[in-house]
Structure formats: C-alpha cells, structure tokens
C-alpha cells in the first residue's frame, strides 16, 4: 500500500509539472503572438497614431499638465496679466525658456508646493489652529508669489548692472563715432566688446534694425524694455538728435559727460544711505551683544557680592 501511495504521488507530481510546463509555453507563445500583433498593427497604423505612441513622457503628461496650470494661473492673476508679465519678463532680460504661460503655471505649481510643505509641517508639529492657518496661508501665498519675487529681483539686478555699465558703453560708442565709424558700426562695437545687459540691449537694437525697424523705433523699444532712467534719457537725446539732424558725435560726447556725473551722484547717494540702513541691524544685533559684554561682568559681580538676593 505504501508503494502504491508513493507511486500515485509521483504520478500526480509528474502530471502537475507537465501541465505547468504546457501552460507556461502557451502563455509565452500567446505573449509573443500579442507582441508581434502589436508591432504589426503599429507598423500598419496611421502616422498620427505612431507619432502619438513615440512621444515622450514630457510631451504626453507634463506639457498638458502645465498647460492646465497655465490656464488656472491666468484666471487667478486676472485678465490683463499677460501684458504685465510680458513687460516684467522684458525688464528681467527675457530669461531663456520663460514665457507668460510658464510664469502662470509656475505660480500655480509654487502654490501647490507651498501648501504641501505647510501640510507636512502641520502633520509633524501639530500646532494650534492659529499657527495652522498661518502656515497654510503663508506658505501657499509664498509659493504662489515666488515667481513674482524672482522676476523682480532679476529685473532689479539687471537695472543696476545697466546703470553701472552704461557710462562706459557710451564712452566706447563716442570714441567709435569720433574715430569715423557710423552709428550702426559703433553700436556693433559696443555689443561685441562689452558684456552684460547693456551689450545685450545694443545687440538687440542691431537685430531689430536689420529686420527693418528704423533707428528711432529700435532705440525707443530699448528704452521701453528698461526701467533705467539714465538709459531712457540717453535714448531720448539720440532720438531728438536724429530727428533734428544734430551731429551724433556731439550728442554722444555730452551724454557721456552727463552719464559719468549721474553715476558718481548715484554712488554718493548709495553711500549716504549706508548709515540709515545699518541702524536696524546695529540696534537689533550689535548693541545687545555689546551690552552683554559690558554689563555682564558688573551684574555677575553684584550678584556675587550679595546685592542680587
């Protein structure tokens, strides 16, 4: 009986192994057939379907999601936000890859990230209701307005760099014109031999004139893109000289002197603001440490002598 039982068990095990191998081969053959059928169907599919299947994850998922965020950001920021953001982007130097739609989507993404960070902090710290509301509202608002602050800081840095380098650029422009070059060639020298926002703006002026804009239109466009008053006054003087036929070399020489005087005055103004700006950190940070260092030994001596208790 034992031998019969062992023999029957071996038969059952063998039958199970044979059946499993047969099913595995069938599944493999079916999977291979399905793959071949898919490839054949893909080869016979229209060009639009094949292009849709060949698109990357960014094109299929990320881009449509950012488009939805962009539409939501436009609704939240108002109907006239496109013109305002376009002007801010121009003042910031038109960063590569940044458009009005991307700014709008970045605001929504920043708000979502701020809300998620605030929610995680609430879960970790479990604060009271006032702190909870403050964290959720504050971090969400900070994330939503982060693109505003980034563009403002970039535009401010660009304006300061333009104000600082404008006098040297005008000197080079004056020397080039007085040496016999035409105004367009002198602008090309400035764009080629200088760096920074001033060189970028003059290079853009050249490209616009090559596209068919007049000299006055290209210069006015440069003044409208910038919020630097010195550059705007310089462009105004050049446009008037071009309109009335005044020699451009004389105007450039006068503007060069004025720009150097304005740059010196601006530096003096910034130097006079230093004592006022240093007052707050002096009162909040330096004076308390000084009082501790000066009055601390005296207080310890008084406490040791018995007057403290």
Handedness of CA 42, 48, 51, 57 (dihedral sign): negative
CB proximity list for 114: less than 8 A, separation 6 or greater? 139, 140, 141, 142, 143, 144, 146
Mean pLDDT is lowest, of 24-28, 94-98, 149-153, for 24-28
User: Has residue 230 got a pLDDT over 70?
Assistant: yes
What pTM, to 2 d.p., does this model score? 0.66
Cα 59 to Cα 85: distance, rounded to the nearest angstrom: 25
Multiple choice CATH, 161-263, 3.30.460, 1.20.81, 1.10.260, 3.30.565: 1.20.81
Residue 29: per-residue pLDDT? 45
Local structure of residue 273 (DSSP, 8 states): T
DSSP H helix total and E strand total for the chain: 16, 0
Neighbours of 245 (CB within 10 A): 7
Mean pLDDT of the chain: 76
pLDDT in the model for residue 85: 77
- pLDDT band at residue 109 under the 50/70/90 scheme: confident
CA 284, CA 274: separation in Å to the nearest integer?
16
Q: What does the angle CA 235 – CA 238 – CA 239 come to, to the nearest 5 degrees?
A: 85
Task: Check if the beta carbon of residue 70 is closer than 8 Å to that of residue 52.
Answer: no
Question: What dihedral angle (degrees, nearest 10) is formed by the CA atoms of 122, 128, 132, 134?
Answer: -140
Q: Please state the rounded mean pLDDT for residues 233-253.
A: 86
Least confident of 21-30, 126-135, 250-259: 21-30
Q: Which residue is listed with tokens 């940044």?
A: 98
pLDDT band with cut points at 50, 70 and 90 for residue 5: very low
- 121: Cβ contacts below 8 Å, ≥ 6 apart: 135, 139
Domain locations in the chain?
1-23+60-158, 161-263
Tens of pLDDT, residue by residue over 147-193, are 888 888 998 999 888 888 888 888 889 898 888 888 888 888 888 88
């Amino acid at each position: 009986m034992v031998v019969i039982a062992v023999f029957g068990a071996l038969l059952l095990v063998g039958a199970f192994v044979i059946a499993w191998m047969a099913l595995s081969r069938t599944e493999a053959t079916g999977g291979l057939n399905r793959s071949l059928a898919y490839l054949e169907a893909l080869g016979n599919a229209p060009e639009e379907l094949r292009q849709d299947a060949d698109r990357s994850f960014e094109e299929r998922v990320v881009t449509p999601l950012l488009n939805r965020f962009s539409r939501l950001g436009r609704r939240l920021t108002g109907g006239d936000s496109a013109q305002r953001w376009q002007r801010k982007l121009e003042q910031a130097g038109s960063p590569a890859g940044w458009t009005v739609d991307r700014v709008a989507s970045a605001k929504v993404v920043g708000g979502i990230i701020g809300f998620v960070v605030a929610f995680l902090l609430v879960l970790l710290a479990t604060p009271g209701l006032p702190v909870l509301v403050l964290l959720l509202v504050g971090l969400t608002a900070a994330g939503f307005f982060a693109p505003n602050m980034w563009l403002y800081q970039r535009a401010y840095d660009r304006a300061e760099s333009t104000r600082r380098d404008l006098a040297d650029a005008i000197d080079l422009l004056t020397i080039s014109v007085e040496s016999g070059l035409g105004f367009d060639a002198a602008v090309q020298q400035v764009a080629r031999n200088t760096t920074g926002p001033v060189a970028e703006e003059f290079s853009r002026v050249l490209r616009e004139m090559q596209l068919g804009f007049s000299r006055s239109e290209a210069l006015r466009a440069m003044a409208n893109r910038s919020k630097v008053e010195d550059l705007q006054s310089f462009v105004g003087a050049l446009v008037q000289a071009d309109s009335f036929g005044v020699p451009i070399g004389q105007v450039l020489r006068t503007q060069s002197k004025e720009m150097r005087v304005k740059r010196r005055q601006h530096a003096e103004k910034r130097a006079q603001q230093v004592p006022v700006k240093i007052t707050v950190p002096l009162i909040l940070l330096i004076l308390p440490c000084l009082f501790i260092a000066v009055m601390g030994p005296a207080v310890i001596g008084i406490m040791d002598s018995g007057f403290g208790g």
